[in-house]
Structure 1
Amino acid sequence: MRSDILKGLFEPGTRLRIVDLSNRYGVSQMPIREALQQLQGEGLVTLLPQKGASVRKVDDRFVSNMYDVRAAIEAMLVRKAVEVLTGPVMDKIEHLQLEYERCASSGDMEEALAYNLQFHKAINELPQNPEAVEIINRHWGLIVSLRNTFGFSEKRIEDIIEDHRLLVNALKNRDGNAASVIADQHVQKAKADLLTNMKSKAEFKR
């Protein structure tokens, strides 16, 4: 169910009826209910009394707020990450970035998104602030779902690669302030790109 949501097979706002899901996935209703509860915790599903479950419906304000929170937290985490960064971890971060570039250049965006998550996760977990990381992780699945639904602009992948390279260099130089600025701008550009794509698709549907 998570995979189908992340692939965009269920668009935001789609009602998720337990009976239909049980038939679709060939399991009883109990594991469906448990899965919906877990997906609610990940931010992919909304559960309301008397109304049941639906794929989380988002608007411009929600997306903007979600990215603003992410930008603030990631800017803080990357600044602190510089203080505890080790050589082996730096090597891992570089490797993940190269893998992202490889997948992006071959057009495998599903795999590229997975490496993008690992790249940011490797940095964000360095300061050992699980409360901050939990807030960021809560919406990662939702962000992937939105990207699968609305896609990227033509030059967005090039921007991501450039930002990642700048961030890697700032980390190598142990420049926490520069890394923090890059991280903030990176997230803000991602927000602007997604909002533009959401608006374009809405206008196309009209």
Structure 2
Amino acid sequence: MSQTSDVIQPATSADDLPATVYEMIREDIVSGQFAPNARLKVADLAKRYRTSTNPAREALQQLRGEGFVIMEANRGARVRPIDEAFVRDIIEIEVLIEPALTRWFVSIATDADISELEAAQDEIEALNFADRARHGQLDTKFHQLIYDRHYNRHAAELWWKHREILRAISRRYPTSLSRRGSVLSEHRELIAAIRAQDADAAAKVVGRHVEGSGRHIIEQMGAAKRQEASKRPA
């Protein structure tokens, strides 16, 4: 991941720019184009994505760091299964990180910060989930306003890495109406807690928000598996 001195930046291009080799491999892993535990050979990847071997090798290293790829001595790289356990592990970490980052933000938040959060939330509500990719961008912007200035860059960068992983996975599944309502209401609750300088309340809302998002993804993954199983011949 690249970053400026104060603001976390995505490791790859924005959604409306051409995809990098890293993004294309990640998308093919998440979408199931590569089967779980499938071998990933640099030469084959370079040919598949019409690039040289160096970008393919660098992409594998980045994907390894994010947990999408497993590398073993003398066996090379293989695809890590993207399953409910994978999402659960990430969520359990985020439930610890995000409330802590939020508590600190409450201690430094200004009226201008709150106005920025409200403006970002207004955009989210105006869109009303009509464009999944755009919603993901706006939702990320909302949370970045809270986490970007934190002094613990390791924690903030880990949040960003997990955020990108979950966003990539969640693009495969629809967002239920109940989850949509929860997202909007939890954001408003969070803004209210920050405005009231109530760090405990803000941390509690964020923890519930993270757990709810993770639970929704896991439920959608399970539903997709059941639907796929029902289509197989008996």
Give per-residue Cα distances to partners, 1:131-150, cap 9 Å, x unaligned.
Answer: 22132223222211210223
* 1:120 has 2:143 as partner: yes
Give per-residue Cα distances to partners, 1:136-169, cap 9 Å, x unaligned.
Answer: 2232222112102234233222211111111111
Distance apart, 1:55 and its partner CA: 4.1
Give per-residue Cα distances to partners, 1:40-74, cap 9 Å, x unaligned.
Answer: 22333333334433443233333223112101211
Name 1:66's counterpart in structure 2. 90
Point out where structure 1 has 5 or more consecutive residues left out of the alignment: none
* 1:173 has 2:224 as partner: no
Number of residues of Structure 1 aligned to a counterpart in Structure 2:
205
* CA pair 118-51 structure 1, distance change in 2 beyond 3 A: farther
TM-score normalised to structure 1 length: 0.86
For residues 164 and 71 of structure 2, what CA distance do their matches in structure 1 show? Answer: 17
Name 2:23's counterpart in structure 1. 3
Is the deviation greater in 187-196 or in 62-71? 62-71
Alignment of 1:1-206 (within 5 A): 1-4=21-24, 5-6=26-27, 8-10=30-32, 13=36, 15=38, 16-105=40-129, 107-206=130-229
More helix by share: 1
CA RMSD of aligned residues (A): 2.3
TM-score normalised to structure 2 length: 0.77
Is the contact between residue 43 and residue 141 of structure 1 (CA under 8 Å) also seen in structure 2? no
The amino acid that maps onto 2:199 is G
Name 2:232's counterpart in structure 1. none
The amino acid that maps onto 1:47 is M
Is the contact between residue 44 and residue 141 of structure 1 (CA under 8 Å) also seen in structure 2? no
Is the deviation greater in 114-123 or in 45-54? 45-54
Question: Alignment partner of 1:13: what SS?
Answer: coil
Distance apart, 1:182 and its partner CA: 0.4
Point out where structure 2 has 5 or more consecutive residues left out of the alignment: 1-20, 230-234
Is the contact between residue 22 and residue 60 of structure 2 (CA under 8 Å) also seen in structure 1? no
State the percentage of identical aligned residues: 27
